[in-house]
């Protein structure tokens, strides 16, 4: 394990139906669990550029990052992450093509949250008042 936490970014992307984008993780940690698309901030990269890059790498859609919605601290035996979750708008097609770290991607209705096995940090994300308002939960 590294000596300091890793910084991550993620995007809460909504489509024209009010559904939000979720990806099933394709590798550890938490392989097979669902989360927002996102990943690690790279050296010298802005937060907005990191969010755009990670979403494109995982599902091949272009987004415009918006305001910060939530900050998650995820501490696991093998990892420690600080994840900045941003609201985001789609720029172009809503068609998803999972790639990179995403084993699967789909648009999720806020009413269907209980049907997914969510990654660590996601239950707290869904309880946050700002997130609930944005996702219309």
What's the CA gap between 112 and 4, in Å, rounded? 36
Global confidence as pTM? 0.92
Run of H or E including 42: none
- Predicted confidence (pLDDT) per residue in 31-55, tens digit: 999 999 999 999 999 999 999 999 9
Mean pLDDT over each residue of the chain, to the nearest integer:
93
Domain boundaries, the chain: 6-135
Question: For residue 37, what is the DSSP state?
Answer: S
Q: By percentage, how much of the chain surpasses pLDDT 70?
A: 99
User: Domain 6-135: which CATH class?
Assistant: alpha beta
- Predicted confidence (pLDDT) per residue in 86-124, tens digit: 999 999 999 999 988 899 999 999 999 999 999 988 999
Strands (E), the chain: 6-13, 20-25, 34-35, 38-40, 63-76, 79-90, 102-108
Question: For residue 77, what is the DSSP state?
Answer: T
At 71 the pLDDT is 97
At 2 the pLDDT is 57
Tell me how many helices (H) and strands (E) the chain has: 3, 7
Question: Measured in whole angstroms, how far is the alpha carbon of residue 103 from the centre of its chain?
Answer: 14
């Amino acid at each position: 394990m590294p000596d300091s936490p890793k910084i991550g970014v993620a995007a809460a992307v909504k489509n024209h139906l009010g559904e939000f984008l979720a990806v099933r993780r394709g590798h550890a940690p938490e392989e097979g669990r669902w989360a927002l698309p996102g990943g690690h901030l790279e050296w010298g990269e802005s937060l907005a550029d990191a969010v755009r890059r990670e979403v494109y790498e995982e599902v091949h859609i272009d987004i415009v990052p918006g305001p910060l919605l939530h900050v998650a601290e995820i501490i696991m035996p093998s990892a420690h992450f600080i994840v900045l979750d941003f609201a985001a708008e789609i720029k172009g097609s809503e068609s998803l093509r999972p790639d990179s770290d995403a084993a699967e991607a789909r648009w999720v209705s806020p009413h269907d949250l209980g049907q997914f096995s969510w990654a660590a940090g996601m239950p707290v994300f869904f309880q946050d008042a700002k997130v609930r308002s944005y996702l219309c939960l």
